[in-house]
């Protein structure tokens, strides 16, 4: 770390540290904490900048009675030492929590929703900062939105067993409601939305504009309908540019659409198109992944250009409504 950066880190440490840290913490105690944290694999620079300068009071914790139980609890969820270190770097405050008094009830709540131990570990690894809130506060809005759609605890359990993305997406409560409202506004009935989100709960983590773009592609480029989506909700589960758009376009350009026709000769098997990774998908068609990725790069550029043009057009329309657009 550069000299100026090191000075800033020291300043941050001194500004955040409470006076009691310097009066009641011994050098031996602080050294024991540093040694313990380094045993998790934290390097000196990250330990200083990402952990101790953020929460100096960690140096005053007792290793055996306060820090080790938290680490042991996280490892009981299946986290490896490296995983624990990552959690600590992302949210050092986890080490200030009580394993039994604060972390255990959180885990129990997630399990009550239907999360497996592995899923709980995923939530903790991906979003450790959520542990700083009451779980009811974090997930209550999501559950209320699902209740409004007629989905009860059993349905939520089935959804959670498939994906936790809708629970931990940024602004999850608002996001779930926005996704539901978007699907309803685009011609799906409440019953159809329920059916889709139970089958593919990750739909609820997709932003409305991405849902609309994927649906528009299904309707306009593929010539499908809402029934097409109901038969394969995975069509809307990821932004158009990730899989559906480039792969379907690649098939059409290569004249390979027939390879995905079902036994009846009229049903396109979208699930097979969407589910595999690029290398597996290309191998199944006899093409190299480099060839497909070259095509995808061009497709992405053209798609991005269309999005920019659409955004510019929408902006112009808004200016016209306000009476301040001076273009032709």
* 179 and 273 share one domain: no
Q: How far apart are the C-alpha atoms of 81 and 93, rounded to whole Å?
A: 17
pLDDT of 312 strictly over 80: yes
**Is 90 exceeded by the pLDDT of residue 267?**
no
pLDDT of 88 > 90? The answer is yes
One domain for residues 188 and 276: no
23-71 pLDDT, tens digit per residue, is: 676 777 878 889 999 999 988 888 888 887 877 888 888 999 999 999 9
The answer on 236 and 177 residing in a single domain is no
Close Cβ partners of 2 (under 8 Å, ≥ 6 residues apart) = none
The reply to whether 108 falls in a domain is no
Domain of 141, in residue numbers = 134-150+165-205
pLDDT band at 321 (very low <50, low <70, confident <90, very high): confident
The span from the CA of 175 to the CA of 195, in Å, is 18
Same domain, 232 and 284: yes
Higher per-residue confidence, 178 vs 20: 178
| Contact predicate 119/164, CB 8 Å | yes
Percent of the residues in the chain that have a pLDDT greater than 70, as a whole number: 92
pLDDT band (50, 70, 90) for residue 189:
very high
> Tell me: the pLDDT tens digits for 220-235?
999 999 999 999 999 9
Residues 188, 285 within the same domain: no
Query: Is 197 inside a domain boundary?
Result: yes
Residues 235 and 300 in one domain: yes
- Please, what is the angle between helix 190-199 and helix 172-185, to 10°? 130
Confirm whether 77 is domain-assigned: no
Q: Read off the pLDDT of each residue in 153-157 and give the average, rounded to a whole number.
A: 95
pLDDT band at 21 (very low <50, low <70, confident <90, very high): low
Q: Do the domain assignments include residue 37?
A: no
Chain-wide mean pLDDT for the chain? 89
Indicate the pLDDT class of residue 154, thresholds 50, 70 and 90.
very high
Query: In terms of domains, do 218 and 318 share one?
Result: yes
- Does 8 have pLDDT greater than 80? no
Predicted confidence (pLDDT) per residue in 95-137, tens digit: 999 999 999 999 999 999 999 999 999 999 999 999 999 999 9
Residue 1, C-beta contacts closer than 8 angstroms, at least 6 positions apart: 9, 45, 48, 49
The model's confidence at residue 10, banded by pLDDT at 50, 70 and 90, is low
Please indicate, yes or no, whether residues 285 and 320 belong to a single structural domain of this protein: yes
Res 104: pLDDT:
95
| 188-192 average pLDDT score | 97
For residues 16 and 225, which has the higher predicted lDDT (pLDDT)?
225
Residue 265 has pLDDT above 90, yes or no: no
Look at residue 279 and tell me if it is in a domain.
yes
Produce one character per residue of 231-244: b if its CB has 16 or more CB atoms within 10 Å, e if not.
ebbbbbbbbbbebb
Separation of alpha carbons 292 and 285, rounded Å:
11
- Please check whether residues 262 and 230 belong to one and the same domain: yes
Number of domains present in the structure of the chain: 2
Q: Which pLDDT score is estimated for 245?
A: 96
Using DSSP's 3-state secondary structure scheme, residue 279 falls into helix
Q: Please tell me whether residues 311 and 229 are part of one structural domain.
A: yes
In a domain, 140, yes or no: yes
Instruction: Say whether both 224 and 144 belong to one domain.
Output: no
Classified as helix, coil or strand, 310 is: helix
Q: 268: which strand partners?
A: 261
Over residues 208-218, the pLDDT tens digits come to 999 999 999 99
Beta-bridge mates of residue 93: none
Lowest mean pLDDT among 26-30, 237-241, 273-277: 26-30
Asked if residue 229 and residue 141 are part of one domain, the reply reads no
Q: Quick check: is 54 in a domain? A: no
| In a domain? residue 212 | yes
Contact 281, 242 (CB under 8 A): no
Q: Is residue 230 exposed (0-12), middle (13-18) or buried (19+ Cβ within 10 Å)?
A: middle
pLDDT number for residue 144 = 94
Above 90 in pLDDT, residue 82?
Answer: yes
| The predicted structure's pLDDT at residue 22 | 66
């Amino acid at each position: 770390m550069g000299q100026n950066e090191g000075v800033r880190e020291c300043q941050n440490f001194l500004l955040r540290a409470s006076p009691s840290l310097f009066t009641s913490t011994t050098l031996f105690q602080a050294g024991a904490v540093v040694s313990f944290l380094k045993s998790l694999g934290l390097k000196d620079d990250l330990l200083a900048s990402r952990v101790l300068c953020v929460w100096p009071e960690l140096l005053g914790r007792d290793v055996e009675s306060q820090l080790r139980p938290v680490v042991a609890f996280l490892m009981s969820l299946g986290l490896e030492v490296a995983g624990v270190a990552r959690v600590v770097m992302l949210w050092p405050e986890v080490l200030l929590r009580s394993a039994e008094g604060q972390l255990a009830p959180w885990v129990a709540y997630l399990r009550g929703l239907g999360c497996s131990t592995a899923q709980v570990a995923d939530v903790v690894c991906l979003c450790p900062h959520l542990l700083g809130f009451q779980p009811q506060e974090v997930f209550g809005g999501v559950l209320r939105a699902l209740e409004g759609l007629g989905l009860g605890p059993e349905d939520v359990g089935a959804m959670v067993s498939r994906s936790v993305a809708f629970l931990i997406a940024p602004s999850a409560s608002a996001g779930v409601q926005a996704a539901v409202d978007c699907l309803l506004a685009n011609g799906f009935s409440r019953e159809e939305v329920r059916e889709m989100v139970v089958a593919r709960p990750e739909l609820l983590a997709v932003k409305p504009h991405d849902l609309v773009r994927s649906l528009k592609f299904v309707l306009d480029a593929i010539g499908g309908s809402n029934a097409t989506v109901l038969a394969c909700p995975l069509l809307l589960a990821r932004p158009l540019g990730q899989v559906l758009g480039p792969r379907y376009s690649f098939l059409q350009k290569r004249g390979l659409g027939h390879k995905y026709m079902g036994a009846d000769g009229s049903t396109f098997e979208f699930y097979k198109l969407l589910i595999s990774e690029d290398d597996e998908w290309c191998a199944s068609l006899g093409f190299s992944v480099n060839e497909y990725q070259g095509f995808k790069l061009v497709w992405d550029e053209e798609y991005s250009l269309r999005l920019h043009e659409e955004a510019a057009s929408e902006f112009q329309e808004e200016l016209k409504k306000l009476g301040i657009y001076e273009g032709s």
